[in-house]
Amino acid sequence: MDMPYQRIDTAKITIAQIIIAQYVVLAWFFLALGASLGGLFVTTQSSPPLAIGLAVVVPILLFFLVYLTSTTFRRFVYSINPVTITAIQFYRVLGVAMLILNGRNILPAVFALPAGWGDVAIGIAAPLAALALASGTRSGKTVFLIWNVLGMLDLILAVSLGILASRISSGLPVNTAVMAVFPMSLIPTFLVPLSFILHLIGLNQLRAHPQL
């Protein structure tokens, strides 16, 4: 019979490693915050949202690069508790902000409704997925796998619809311009890539340690 989740000690996480990881995430957040407050993500109607696109893609690519080239980093990733990083994605319920903005005719429905409801659903389900994995049962692992896959698809769909909506709504009264302005700009420039990376870590844990 499967045992409940226990931390996999493939490597001992040192205090220094934890502190470094925290500082990296904080530096990333403040970089996104500073760029948002400085209006660096705001573009003209005729220009593509290149800065936001880079803010989404670059952190994920850097994660892959460091993961593939650093044994120490891989061991650190393996040692992260997947239950914890799953439960904290409850913050995805912040996607309700997009639904509110749509209700106020600030964001177009083609983007706000699927992206907003998708985030809310994934956020509400996050603690349940964490509990499912912590149970150590085979069905719990299946729930955890499905939740991660759906969470990643939600992010991909939201980014794709955001790009599409930014093009088709350009020049219209209701457009996606607010997503480039603080505080909404922190969703695509920080929370989206962070969530995607957390999903990658969770799936990697399941692949590397099928005994979870």
CA distances from 166 to 42, 97, 169 (A): 12, 18, 5
Chain-centroid distance, C-alpha 83: 16
CA dist 210 and 112 (Å) reads: 37
What band does 30 get if pLDDT is binned at 50, 70 and 90?
A: very high
Measure the CA angle with vertex 65, ends 81 and 36; round to 5°: 80
Q: Is the pTM of this model over 0.85?
A: yes
Beta carbons of 90 and 126 less than 8 angstroms apart: yes
In tens, the pLDDT along 83-138 reads 999 999 999 999 999 999 999 999 999 999 999 999 999 999 999 999 999 998 99
With beta carbons less than 8 A apart as the criterion, state whether 80 and 103 touch.
Answer: no
Residues in contact with 113: Cβ distance below 8 Å, sequence separation at least 6, in sequence order: 99, 102
Higher-confidence position of 49 and 55? 55
Report the interhelical angle of 96-103 vs 109-134 (nearest 10°). Answer: 160
Residue 7: pLDDT over 50: no
Identity (one letter) of the amino acid at 167? R
